[in-house]
C-alpha cells in the first residue's frame, strides 16, 4: 500500500480529534499560499492550514535559508544588534525572530524529554535509578566551588552520613586566579574524584556562546525574556546539534539516535502519541 505523501504531517487545528496524530491519512494537498508554501486540508475537521504551521518558519517573510543562517548566529556570541548589522535586517525583525525561534526550541526540547518512548517497567526502573535515595552505604557525591550556599543546600536535602562532598577552591589575589586546591567537606571522597570541570565547561560555553552572559560587559540582559530566549536556543543547540565525538547529550540519553541540523530543529513539529 502506497504511503500517504503527508504521512509525517498532522492536523494543526486544536479542536480536531486528529490534532497532533500523524499517519492517519486525513490530509490532502490544497494548493499553495502566496509565498509558495503548500497548504493542506484536513478531511476530518474540513480546515486548511499552511505546511509550515507549528514550525519556526510559520508566517515568516524571510526564506528558510535566511532564517537558519540567522538562527545560527544566536549561539555565536552575537548580540541581536550585531546580528541585525551583520544580516542587514531591521533590529525588530531579528528580535521577533529570536523570540519565535526560542519558543519553538523550548517546545521541541521539552517534548523530546517528556516523550521518551519507554514501557511501564522501563520507566519505573529509570525513575528508581535517577531518584534512588542515598544511604550511608550508597552515598551520593557532590562537587562544587566554595560557595557556602552549595553546602547549605546539600545538607538541607540529604543527611550528611549519606553524602560525599568535595570542593574545588580557586586561589585568588585581587580577583586574579593563580591556582586551585581541593578540600573534602563531607564524607571521604577521593581527591582525584573532586572536580567541577563539567560545570565550569558548561559555564564557559555559555559565556562563549551568549554575549549577554559575559562578565562585566555592557551587553548584560535588561529583561528576563532575553535570558529565556538565549538559554532556550542554546539548550536546543547543545542537546541536539552540538555533537562531541559524534554524540550529542540527547543521543547519550537515548532520546535521539542522530545528530540534528538547524533545519530539522526549526522545521520540527510537536505531535502527541496516537
Give the tens place of pLDDT for each residue, 40-51: 888 888 888 877
Across 129-158, average pLDDT:
84
Give the mean pLDDT of 133-140. Answer: 86
Quote the CA–CA distance of 134 and 265 in Å, as a whole number: 38
Q: What is the pTM of this model?
A: 0.70
- Looking at the fold, whether 129 and 222 belong to one and the same domain comes out as yes
Indicate whether 180 and 236 sit together in one domain. Answer: no
Question: Could you tell me if 62 and 128 lie in one domain?
Answer: yes
Per-residue confidence (pLDDT) for residue 54, from 0 to 100:
80
pLDDT for 1 equals 44
User: 110 and 151 in one domain?
Assistant: no
Residues 29 and 100 in one domain: no
Identify the pLDDT of residue 35: 66
Average pLDDT of the chain to the nearest whole number:
82
Same domain as 215, residue 79: yes
pLDDT digits (tens, 9 = 90+) for 205-258: 887 777 777 766 666 667 788 888 988 999 999 999 999 888 998 888 888 888
For range 10-35, the mean pLDDT: 77
Q: What is the pLDDT of residues 95-136, one digit of tens each?
A: 999 999 999 999 888 888 765 555 545 545 555 555 567 888
* Residue with the larger pLDDT of the pair 3 and 27: 27
Same domain, 157 and 138: yes
Both 110 and 77 in a single domain?
yes
What is the number of structural domains in the chain? 3
**60-90 pLDDT per residue, tens:** 888 889 999 999 999 888 888 889 999 999 9
Residue 227: count other Cβ atoms within 10 Å of its Cβ: 15
Pick the more confident residue, 195 or 25: 195
- 94: pLDDT strictly greater than 90: yes
Quote the CA–CA distance of 45 and 25 in Å, as a whole number. Answer: 13
Cell numbers describing residue 250: 540527547
151 or 13: whose pLDDT is higher? 151
Domain boundary pick from 181, 198, 215: 198
Do 62 and 129 sit in the same domain of this protein?
A: yes
Residues 47 and 183 in one domain: no
Q: In the structure, what pLDDT confidence band is assigned to residue 274 with cuts at 50, 70 and 90?
A: very low
Same domain, 161 and 243: no
Range of the domain at 4: 1-53
Residue ending a domain, choose from 198, 227, 249: 198
Q: How far is CA 41 from CA 23, 31, 37, in A?
A: 14, 9, 13
Closest CA to 235 of 222, 248, 246: 248
Looking at the structure, do residues 121 and 207 belong to the same domain, yes or no? Answer: yes
Contact 25, 10 (CB under 8 A): no
More confident residue, 138 or 33: 138
Distance CA 199, CA 195 (A): 9
CA–CA separation, 252 and 271 (whole Å):
23
Residue 37: per-residue pLDDT:
75
Amino acid at each position: 500500500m502506497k504511503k500517504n505523501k503527508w504521512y509525517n504531517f498532522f492536523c494543526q487545528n486544536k479542536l480536531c480529534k486528529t490534532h497532533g496524530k500523524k499517519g492517519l491519512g486525513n490530509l490532502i494537498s490544497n494548493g499553495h499560499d502566496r509565498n509558495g508554501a503548500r497548504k493542506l486540508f484536513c478531511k476530518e475537521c474540513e480546515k486548511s492550514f499552511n505546511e509550515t504551521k507549528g514550525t519556526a518558519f510559520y508566517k515568516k517573510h524571510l526564506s528558510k535559508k535566511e532564517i537558519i543562517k540567522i538562527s545560527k548566529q544566536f549561539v555565536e556570541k552575537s548580540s541581536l544588534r550585531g546580528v541585525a548589522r551583520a544580516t542587514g535586517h531591521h533590529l525588530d525583525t531579528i528580535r521577533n525572530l529570536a523570540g519565535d525561534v526560542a519558543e519553538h526550541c523550548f517546545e521541541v526540547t521539552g517534548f523530546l524529554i517528556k516523550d521518551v518512548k519507554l514501557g511501564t517497567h522501563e520507566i519505573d526502573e529509570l525513575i528508581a535509578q535517577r531518584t534512588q535515595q542515598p544511604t550511608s552505604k550508597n552515598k551520593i557525591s557532590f562537587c562544587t566551588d566554595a560557595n557556602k550556599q552549595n553546602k547549605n543546600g546539600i545538607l538541607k536535602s540529604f543527611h550528611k552520613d549519606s553524602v560525599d562532598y568535595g570542593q574545588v577552591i580557586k586561589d585568588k589575589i585581587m580577583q586574579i586566579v593563580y591556582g586551585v586546591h581541593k578540600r573534602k567537606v563531607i564524607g571521604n571522597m577521593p581527591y582525584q574524584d573532586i572536580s567541577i570541570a563539567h560545570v565550569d565547561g558548561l559555564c564557559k560555553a555559555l559565556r562563549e556562546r551568549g554575549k549577554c552572559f559575559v562578565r562585566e560587559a555592557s551587553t548584560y540582559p535588561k529583561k528576563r525574556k532575553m535570558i529565556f530566549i538565549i538559554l532556550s536556543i542554546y539548550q536546543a543547540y547543545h542537546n541536539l546539534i552540538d555533537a562531541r565525538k559524534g554524540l550529542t547529550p540527547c543521543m547519550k540519553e537515548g532520546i535521539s539516535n542522530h545528530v540534528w541540523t538547524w533545519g530539522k530543529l526549526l522545521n520540527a513539529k510537536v505531535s502527541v502519541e496516537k
